[in-house]
Structure 1
Amino acid sequence: MAEWFSNLALFPKIYWSIAIIGSLIFIISMILTFAGSDSDDLSTDSEIDADTGVGFQFITFKNLVGFFTIFGWSGIACIDAQLSQPITIIISVVCGLIMMTIMAAMFYYMRKLNDSGTLDFKNAINAVGEVYLTIGAKRSKIGKAHVRVQGALRELEALTDSETDLKSGSVIKVKNVTENGILIVELLNK
């Protein structure tokens, strides 16, 4: 192996070195990622991310590793295809930049999939639900209602301005929400 490498010309040696080193770092990075020791989370980026929601990041450690790995291997493929050195450099740089773009876009869209899970009670307005525990007439007694909010069925406290109590099983509609998250509901007319 060492003899084969020493017999290579300088140009292929550079590409083989970049490809091998990039691939080793890529493999180590993947192992650490799956083991739970993701190197990007150890940087200050996580503080910025939590505070301001940093968006599309083109130059990151993982993107650079991807660039050099693809740069090296595409350069080796061009050398094996006996392309000229300038064409090999151009193709390998373009392939590396395409890889960086793909990885940056992939991580950007994966971050957008995060959801805080915080319930915004305003999203319950106009939702239809069912009374679970009797709600007292004219806001006399807090009851409970099952209402689908933000894609999940939730059991929330409710009041009504109705003249009569809303009994368990009644179909209701949310009119408003108080500042402390109590639903103001009315009987849904059938």
Structure 2
Amino acid sequence: MIDSFSETLILDRIYWYLAIPFTVLLVIQLIATFAGLGGEMDFEIGDSDIDIDIDITEEGDSKSGLQYFTVRNFIAFFAVFGWSGITFSHAGLGQFTTILLSTVLGTAILLIVSGLFYSISKLAHNGTMNIQKAKGATGEVYLPIPPGKKGVGKVSITFQDSLRELDAMTDEEEIIPRGTMVVVTDIVSSSVLLVEKLNRRND
């Protein structure tokens, strides 16, 4: 019985350790998004840059799809998982039931947040943005861009006085990695840019 009580205390600590920091990060992310900053949250540990973002847009597709496995969505998941775990645990539910219900709620919120940010992104694309004005603008690669127009990556770029995250393709023969500075050379579609490395144009 003592072992069971100890395990419950350990789980409670884990729930608190997840709930508080991830809630703070979630609030910051929401404020940044609605303030027009958008984008994902990146974390740097020493010289290594950790980025958890899997774009599930189909290769060659010119439209952004829902992105489930992103840093933003994991923040929402763990925030809800932590608080629901605390709630169910204090309500006297068993460990397995608490973990199961917390996981279900966290997953539900993850899906809701994905849909919310997807809707915000579509509104931005369909609103006052004139993508033609992005020609000649410079930005930074956020998701690696496949070579030879064989796929779509993402770039963070500023034009019309706003920082935007848009899909991008390239004619270059090598993949353009994350963090590379690029320049927009043309517009592929209403939501996809054609870019090349900035240092290539300067050569």
TM-score, normalised on structure 2?
Answer: 0.45
**More helix, by proportion:** 1
TM-score, normalised on structure 1?
Answer: 0.48
